[in-house]
Structure 1
Amino acid sequence: MADRITVHGLTGHGFHGVYPEERERGQTFRVDAALELDTAPAAATDDLTRTVNYAELSQRLHAVLVGDPVDLLETLAQRLADLCLGYDGVQAVEITVHKPQADLGVPADDVTVAIRRERR
């Protein structure tokens, strides 16, 4: 099992969804990202350049979360995963996209789409 760097609950206002009102008003989305990588080189050298800078990662994830709208959470999750896998050393990533204000027609706390992708 690889080491993990995880960002939980990154939040932004996005306009994702298939319904016109979702695209017009937008809503809150959250993302959790868990990156799998070997952190030993960074730990041994105390060198930030040998790991993933999670502040920079968070800013980039947020830009996707609030950026160009997509219809499906699955598409958004894939875009976020692709961004994470673009970092050197990241072998795999788990992304969970939360849509807590999804209109389901019945009471619910949250809707999520979770994916796991590995470097090929």
Structure 2
Amino acid sequence: MTEAIHVRGLRVWAHVGVYEHERRHGQWFELAFSLGVDLGAVARSDDLSQGFDYGRGIAALQEQARTVRCLTLEHYSERILDLLEDCYGPIPLALELSKCQVPVPGFDGSVAVSRKRRWG
């Protein structure tokens, strides 16, 4: 896939984590996703109907974050990919999902999972 729309830096508050307090109180996650699409038609015509509405995916993910409850980043990433597929159909998708604060003593970084569907 040589052409794509990339959305980066989307921060959402979700109730995901191994520990009960993480699921009860929630925490910040950051995600980036890519839609593998042919941009040629909209690039040539400047016709919005030829493009992909990335705002639709952003809004759907923000809404999903309000209600999701699960233990692992891996499962949450699967739910995100399912939602993006519901929005855009069976196109190539790529995702990076980061947990912004990891409950590991002495560790101040983040942990992320990367997933792809139909990405060549």
Would you call these one fold, judging by a TM-score over 0.5? Answer: yes
Tell me the TM-score normalised to structure 1 length: 0.86
1:104 equivalenced with 2:104 (yes/no): yes
Which residue is 2:22 aligned to?
22
- Alpha-carbon offset, residue 30 of structure 1: 1.0
- Alpha-carbon offset, residue 50 of structure 1: 1.9
Aligned length: 118
Which residue is 2:52 aligned to?
52
- Alpha-carbon offset, residue 105 of structure 1: 2.4
The residue type paired with residue 91 of structure 1 is I
Provide the C-alpha distance between the structure 2 equivalents of 1:118 and 1:83, rounded to a whole number of angstroms: 15
Provide the C-alpha distance between the structure 2 equivalents of 1:8 and 1:59, rounded to a whole number of angstroms: 14
Q: How does 1:64-103 map to 2 (within 5 A)?
A: 64-86=64-86, 87-88=88-89, 91-103=91-103
In structure 1, the residue corresponding to 2:41 is in which secondary structure?
helix
Identity %: 27
Provide the C-alpha distance between the structure 2 equivalents of 1:12 and 1:69, rounded to a whole number of angstroms: 13
Unaligned runs of 5+ in 2: none
Tell me the TM-score normalised to structure 2 length: 0.86
Give every structure 1 segment of 4 or more consecutive aligned residues whose post-TM-superposition deviation is greater than 3 Å: none
- Alpha-carbon offset, residue 108 of structure 1: 3.0
Which residue is 1:12 aligned to?
12
Partners of 1:96 and 1:115 within 8 A in 2: yes
The residue type paired with residue 39 of structure 2 is T
Unaligned runs of 5+ in 1: none
Higher helix share: 2
Partners of 2:33 and 2:94 within 8 A in 1: yes
